[in-house]
Amino acid sequence: MGREIKNLKKRNAAERRFKIFGVASTAFALAFLAILFVAIFSKASGAFWRTEIALEINQNEDYRQAIKDGLRQRFPEAKTIAEINSLYQLVSKASNLEAKEQSGKQQIWISASSKSDMFFKHQNSSALNENQLLWLSDLKEKNEIRKVVNWKFFEFADSREPEIAGVGAGLVGSFLVMLIFLIFAFPIAVMCAFYLEEFAPKNRLTDIIEISINNLAAIPSIIYGLLGLTVYLQFMHLPRSSSLVGGMTLFMLVLPVIIIATRNTIRSIPSSIRDAGAALGASQMQVMLHHLLPLSMPGIMTGTILAVSRALGETAPLLMIGMVAFIADIPQGFTDPTTVLPVQIYLWSDSPEIGFMEKTSAAILLLLTFLILFNLVAIILRKKFEKKW
Amino acid sequence: MNLRLRRKIESAGVLVLSITAGIGILITIAVTVSILFEAMRFFDLVNPLDFLFGTSWNPQMAMTAEQEVGSSSFGSVPVFLGTLLITLVAMTVAVPLGIMGAINLSFYSKAKTRDYLKPILEVLAGVPTVVYGYFAVIFVAPFFKYFFASFGIEVASESALAAGFVMGIMIIPFVLSLTDDALNSVPQVLKDGALALGSTKSEMIKKVVLPAATPSIVGALILAISRAVGETMIVVMAAGLIAKLTFNPLDSVTTATAQIVTLLVGDQEFNSPKTLAAFALALTLFVVTFIFNIVALAVIKNYKKKYG
């Protein structure tokens, strides 16, 4: 008897260990998600704020000169060329545009340079010299700086100057690319899925189609980039790094995913629906259009949304078709050079200036917000319309 | 409506549908042909044996094709060794955590927790790889460097360990959800039978469920490997660019995907072996992942037939 009890204790201990290991591994995955979000988002908030400096200027046609004069009037102690240069570095190089917008006023507010911005936001003075520190502290004391919401981050395209670089071009680009691949992929994928499930004869060819579609869903995305490079750019000579080419490349990536999701939904519809339709004299096509399609629509939408959210996060295939260019203008059409949000993140993450670090994090925050929203909609759709047949 | 006309229209409709089904094949053919064609041009310039078995990878920038071949070397062994190393690190992280997580979700957690956890893990699966790459660069790599430095071990700032670790985390949800499917498709009778004979839950899982689900789990793991091999952004950002013949995870290595990106990004001359080499790498990558996928899908399909 004693041996059995001892044995049972051992077995129960093994059971507990096993369970703890299981819980721990789930906890680890979740903890990692938490760390990822905290590590990135804690740096993101800075990008949504911008520091502005007040300056008295004399109206002048040449705004750049007017700002320089204004700065030297404000800080007459800057005498040597080096001192004057470091004085000019306090404000953004693009501040002349802001001065132009506020023309007619005596006192204008212009963006601080990234260096001064970092100083006010994070007390990071590593990039500043002693004089600059002194001047900035003086501005702060006299309340000649202010913090404003950085709408430019959403409106502007990329820039060499971190303080005015924004995700505008990336947002527009991502939207254009999505438009292209959805227009092509959605109808084709749905039609293809219905053909394979409802009409296709069971033969060799159908098997090959099935295998190739399943395989397309699993090959590395960078391969599609190479295909885009050779077929669209080299062979068809479509414009490099345009949203048209980007969309056509992601189309191939999205297509098999939507096909597979649609097929799974169609398969889950019981055959009694088809039989009832046929018994009432409806043709196969009528059963499909009047019953199967509406019944499978929620499932198709869920699959499509998930496919879209995956494609919107893709970077590698787009790098292959030349979307690494520096895009300083918001794209106006499908053939303009474009960047997309994830590519913008990649480009900024490579920049050495610390000003770009918060931009990268903020862009990631933006991208993840979109993707999580997409996922949420998909989950809600699935929950709401899920049918247990 | 006229019945005959309706039939005609409908058969035209079916024809249209069947054409769309052909697009899947068309894309497969386009992928194969375009990569094969460029890779062939590469193998005209470089001996395929040198590519497959050479141990030095050093593609040089050059103006013309002739000037190129002498000064640079295209032995892909170090590149694929790096790919293998990073994949190995990733799988070491993802396999135990993914499988144990799935067991926990399927057998131990309450239905309500499960309902919350699954969407959260789906979020983890939906995070773009560029985000994981950035995370590896700003957080994981410095962490490993600092951690090992406290033991006096030096770690390269672009180590295979950091890139592989983050890649493993990326694959966890993938392994987890496929394993979860596999565990759930083991018939309830088998589970009940084991419990009725007096086994504890973990004994039931270890001795009945896992052996029954093994083929399907193996299929899932092959798919996961294929994904790790083809993963690009994490290695482009967090792994190195110089090909080294090493199997030390603390060292910096490069991978096939990272090399493809570095060779092809930017303006390039299309006739130089340097750019064509990317297609040779891609061809190898394509063939390897293709075989993996086919095998994995066949294994899973067979298994489903068994327990249907």
pLDDT range class, residue A1, cuts 50, 70, 90: low
Of the partner residues A12, A310, A360, the one whose CB lies closest to the CB of residue B126: A310
What pLDDT, on a 0 to 100 scale, did the predictor assign at position B80? 92
Domain boundaries, chain B: 74-307
Question: Among candidates B170, B162, B183, which has minimal Cα distance to B125?
Answer: B170
Cβ contacts of B259 within 8 Å, gap of 6 or more: B57, B79, B241, B243, B277, B278, B281
Separation between Cα atoms, residue B54 and residue A46, nearest integer Å: 49
Of the partner residues B14, B233, B285, the one whose CB lies closest to the CB of residue A199: B14
Among A123-127, A220-224, B75-79, B166-170, which stretch is predicted with the lowest mean pLDDT? A123-127
pLDDT range class, residue A21, cuts 50, 70, 90: very high
Contact A185, A258 (CB under 8 A): yes
pLDDT tens-digit profile of A52-110? 888 887 776 778 888 888 888 888 888 888 888 888 888 888 777 777 777 777 788 88
From A52's Cα to the closest Cα of chain B, the distance in A is: 29
pLDDT tens-digit profile of B249-288? 888 889 999 999 988 886 666 677 788 889 999 999 999 9
What pLDDT, on a 0 to 100 scale, did the predictor assign at position B168? 94
Q: Does domain B74-307 have CATH number 1.10.3720.10?
A: yes
Calculate the average pLDDT of chain B: 87
What angle do the packed helices A204-216 and B3-45 form, to 10 degrees? 60
| Mean of pLDDT values over B216-243 | 90
pLDDT range class, residue A162, cuts 50, 70, 90: confident
Beta carbons of A199 and B126 less than 8 Å apart: no
| Mean of pLDDT values over B10-31 | 89
Per cent of chain A over pLDDT 70 is: 99
Q: What angle do CA B53, B261, A359 make, to 5 degrees?
A: 145
Beta carbons of B261 and A320 less than 8 Å apart: yes
Of the residues A38, A206, A219, A286, the best mutation for testing chain B's interface (the one with the most B CB atoms within 10 Å of its CB) is A219
Position A236 pLDDT exceeds 70: yes
Of the residues A25, A28, A266, the best mutation for testing chain B's interface (the one with the most B CB atoms within 10 Å of its CB) is A25
Position B102 pLDDT exceeds 80: yes
| Mean of pLDDT values over A143-157 | 83
What pLDDT, on a 0 to 100 scale, did the predictor assign at position B68? 47
The two three-digit tokens of residue A93, written as one number: 């190089």
What pLDDT, on a 0 to 100 scale, did the predictor assign at position A357? 86
Beta carbons of A375 and B25 less than 8 Å apart: no
The two three-digit tokens of residue B48, written as one number: 């395929």
What residue of A is the nearest CA neighbor of B125? Answer: A310
Identify all chain A residues contacting B100, using CB atoms and an 8 Å cutoff: 21-22, 24-26
Separation between Cα atoms, residue A316 and residue B240, nearest integer Å: 16
Beta carbons of A29 and B229 less than 8 Å apart: no
From A167's Cα to the closest Cα of chain B, the distance in A is: 16
Identify all chain A residues contacting B128, using CB atoms and an 8 Å cutoff: 312-315, 342, 367, 371
Beta carbons of A375 and B119 less than 8 Å apart: yes
What residue of A is the nearest CA neighbor of B16? Answer: A191
Beta carbons of A195 and B14 less than 8 Å apart: yes
Identify all chain B residues contacting A371, using CB atoms and an 8 Å cutoff: 126-128
From A132's Cα to the closest Cα of chain B, the distance in A is: 29
- The more confidently predicted of residues A217 and A186 is A186
Separation between Cα atoms, residue A107 and residue A99, nearest integer Å: 10
What pLDDT, on a 0 to 100 scale, did the predictor assign at position A80? 85
Position B65 pLDDT exceeds 80: no
| Mean of pLDDT values over A228-237 | 88
Separation between Cα atoms, residue A182 and residue B238, nearest integer Å: 32
What pLDDT, on a 0 to 100 scale, did the predictor assign at position A115? 81
What pLDDT, on a 0 to 100 scale, did the predictor assign at position A36? 87
What pLDDT, on a 0 to 100 scale, did the predictor assign at position B308? 57
From A120's Cα to the closest Cα of chain B, the distance in A is: 23
pLDDT range class, residue B89, cuts 50, 70, 90: very high
| Mean of pLDDT values over A236-248 | 90
Separation between Cα atoms, residue A360 and residue A40, nearest integer Å: 9
| Mean of pLDDT values over B212-223 | 90
Rounded alpha-carbon distances, angstroms, from residue B220 to A366, B101, B214, B230: 32, 14, 10, 16
Identify all chain A residues contacting B203, using CB atoms and an 8 Å cutoff: 11, 14-15
- The more confidently predicted of residues B45 and A2 is B45
| Strand-strand pairing, A49-56 and B73-74 | unpaired
Rounded alpha-carbon distances, angstroms, from residue B264 to A2, A68, A229, B242, B267: 71, 44, 9, 16, 8
Position A123 pLDDT exceeds 60: yes
| Mean of pLDDT values over A299-322 | 91
Contact B42, B22 (CB under 8 A): no
What pLDDT, on a 0 to 100 scale, did the predictor assign at position A259? 94
| Mean of pLDDT values over A166-191 | 93
Identify all chain B residues contacting A320, using CB atoms and an 8 Å cutoff: 260-261, 264-265
Beta carbons of A218 and B104 less than 8 Å apart: no
Tell me the CB-side half-sphere exposure of residue A6, using CA atoms within 13 A: 3
pLDDT tens-digit profile of A339-361? 999 999 999 998 877 788 888 99
Question: Among candidates A22, A24, A4, A15, which has minimal Cα distance to B207?
Answer: A15
What pLDDT, on a 0 to 100 scale, did the predictor assign at position B267? 62
Q: Does domain A168-385 have CATH number 3.30.300.130?
A: no
pLDDT tens-digit profile of B113-157? 888 888 888 778 889 999 999 999 989 999 998 999 888 888 888
DSSP result, A233-280: IIIS-PPTTBHHHHHHHHHHHHHHHHHHHHHHHHHHS-HHHHHHHHHT
What pLDDT, on a 0 to 100 scale, did the predictor assign at position B70? 54
Beta carbons of B10 and A284 less than 8 Å apart: yes
Per cent of chain A over pLDDT 90 is: 35
Position A293 pLDDT exceeds 60: yes
What residue of B is the nearest CA neighbor of A37? Answer: B135
H helix and E strand count, chain A: 17, 3
Domain boundaries, chain A: 51-148, 168-385
